[in-house]
Amino acid sequence: MNSAENFLQNKQLGDQPAKQASDEPLQQLLTRPDIWQLASGQRRPRTGISTGYRGLDALLVGHGWPRAASTEFLVDKAGIGEMSLILPTLAELTRQGRMVILINPPHIPYAPALVQAGVQLEKLLILHPRGQRDQLWAAEQSLQSGACGALIQWQNREAPADKDLRRLQIAARDGDCLHFHFRPGSCAQTPSPAALRLQLKSDGEQLALHLFKQLSGKSGQRVHLARNPDLVRRDQPLH
């Protein structure tokens, strides 16, 4: 082998680590749940975490809540049984030993109903940060900690900025955590980076859901689910 051939072979071998290193940021980008690859979106399977409701699972892309991502619930009035929607998931997570964190719930969760539903109360943590800045900090730190299975957050009077919502979405991805965000129904008119958005309304003994948005999937569908209005103590508001 002459010197020219040696040079070319060594150059090719030397270029491989550099190429691999340059590919790493691209691979990290392609694995983000908030980015949809048009070319491969249909080929790559996406498995969600079951909601516990077959009818709802059938409408969702991953047949469940999107993993490591934000899900928004748009609710005009708290206390209509909206917690019923995520209760099966919270029960399963706490049975697995995962921590569930609630940030600024508008009402005191009704412990007997939670226990009856299978939630392990020792794995339930309630936080009451003061002010928008502290609330966002607590949510972001909890989401990306890796110790939290699900974080449930209620928006206060001040709506978070788009950049803050994106930070929470990224934190959920980095911490492999479910992020459930309850927001006023009026927020439906504002774009959001959340992977899934559902509008919730009370309809007699049922909870009416409108699938407002989901990444890589169909939207606009509606479904009615059984609800449990006794999951909160309405006579004891927290705020």
Run of H or E including 30? helix 3-30
Token code pair at residue 7 = 């040079």
Please tell me which of 23-27, 41-45, 171-175, 205-209 the model is most confident about, judged by mean pLDDT. Answer: 171-175
Domain boundaries, the chain: 54-237
Chosen CATH of 54-237 out of 3.30.2350.10, 3.30.300.30, 3.40.640.10, 3.40.50.300: 3.40.50.300
> What is the model's pTM?
0.77
CA torsion angle for 40, 192, 180, 83 (degrees, to 10)? -120
Q: Given this model, what pLDDT does residue 198 score?
A: 96
The residues pairing with 197 across neighbouring beta strands, listed in sequence order, are: 72, 213
User: How many angstroms separate the Cα of 86 from the Cα of each of 126, 132, 181, 228?
Assistant: 16, 24, 11, 11
Distance CA 23, CA 86 (A): 38
Q: Residue 106's pLDDT is what?
A: 87
Residue whose C-alpha is closest to residue 177's, from 124, 117, 119, 99: 99
User: 117: which 2 tokens?
Assistant: 């539903």
Tell whether the model's pLDDT for residue 103 goes beyond 90: yes
* Mean pLDDT calculated for residue range 191-196: 94
Q: Which residues pair with 71 in a beta bridge?
A: 180, 196
pLDDT band at 229 (very low <50, low <70, confident <90, very high): low
Contact 213, 73 (CB under 8 A): no
Average pLDDT over residues 131-145: 95
Taking the CA atoms of 11, 12, 18 and 22 in sequence, report the sign of the dihedral they define.
positive
Mean pLDDT, the chain, integer: 82
Residue 130 is classified by DSSP as -
Q: Which residue type does 193 have?
A: P
Beta strands in 81-217 (DSSP E): 99-103, 107-109, 124-127, 148-154, 178-183, 196-203, 206-214
Mean of pLDDT values over 95-114:
92
CA 177 centroid distance within chain:
7
